[in-house]
């Protein structure tokens, strides 16, 4: 029985589609749903924002911290908007949201295990200029490492 669904969310149009799909499933199954946004660690955020290789990031600590803060605020806003939309469209669903910092695939798998989720619903592609570096293989890693079923929405 599916009672808890985890939805990794990055704010892209594709993740909006995934979230809508997961909300429909949660509504049909009367399941709780958590919207999870994972913010990559500082050096990855810097590379994402600038297109500059991560090995250079450590030498520009102040700028890296600035990008991290800005990225965190943006992700919090995106997560808040998704949470608000979910509650407006499905007011009777038990919807929560969470923001974590770290390697996206690792954090998704950890959150799934920690929260005893029955299903992960996620997209097959992500957001960003360095998509392959940050998010391109996240769904593959999660599907390999998660202890519960993973539904990948195209």
Give residues with Cβ within 8 angstroms of 116, minimum separation 6: 4
**pLDDT recorded at residue 124:** 84
Q: How many domains does the chain have?
A: 1
DSSP conformation letters of 27-67: HHHT-EEEEEEEEPPHHHHHHHHH---HHHHGGGHHHHHHH
Low-confidence residues in the chain, pLDDT < 70: 42-65, 125-136
80-97 pLDDT per residue, tens:
999 999 999 999 999 999
Instruction: Quick: pLDDT tens for 121-141.
Output: 999 866 544 444 444 588 889
Q: Are the C-beta atoms of 80 and 11 separated by less than 8 Å?
A: no
Please check whether residue 94 is in contact with residue 33, taking contact to mean a CB–CB distance below 8 angstroms: yes
Looking at residue 131, its pLDDT comes to 46
Please give the pLDDT value at position 129. 42
What range does the domain containing 90 cover?
4-153
pTM for this prediction: 0.83
Q: What is the CATH number of the domain that holds 24?
A: 3.40.50.620
Per-residue pLDDT at 40: 78
């Amino acid at each position: 029985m599916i009672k808890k669904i985890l939805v990794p969310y990055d704010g892209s149009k594709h993740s909006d589609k995934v979230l809508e799909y997961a909300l429909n499933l949660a509504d049909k199954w009367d399941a709780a749903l958590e919207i999870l946004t994972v913010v990559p660690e500082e050096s990855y955020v810097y590379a994402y924002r600038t297109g500059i290789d991560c090995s250079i990031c450590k030498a520009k600590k102040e700028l890296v911290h600035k990008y991290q803060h800005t990225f965190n605020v943006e992700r919090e806003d995106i997560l808040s908007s998704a949470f608000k939309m979910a509650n407006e469209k499905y007011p009777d669903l038990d919807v929560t949201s969470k923001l974590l910092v770290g390697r996206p695939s690792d954090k998704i798998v950890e959150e799934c295990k920690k929260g005893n989720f029955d299903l992960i619903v996620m997209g097959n592609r992500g957001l960003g200029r360095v998509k392959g570096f940050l998010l391109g293989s996240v769904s593959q890693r999660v599907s390999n490492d998660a202890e519960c079923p993973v539904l990948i929405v195209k």
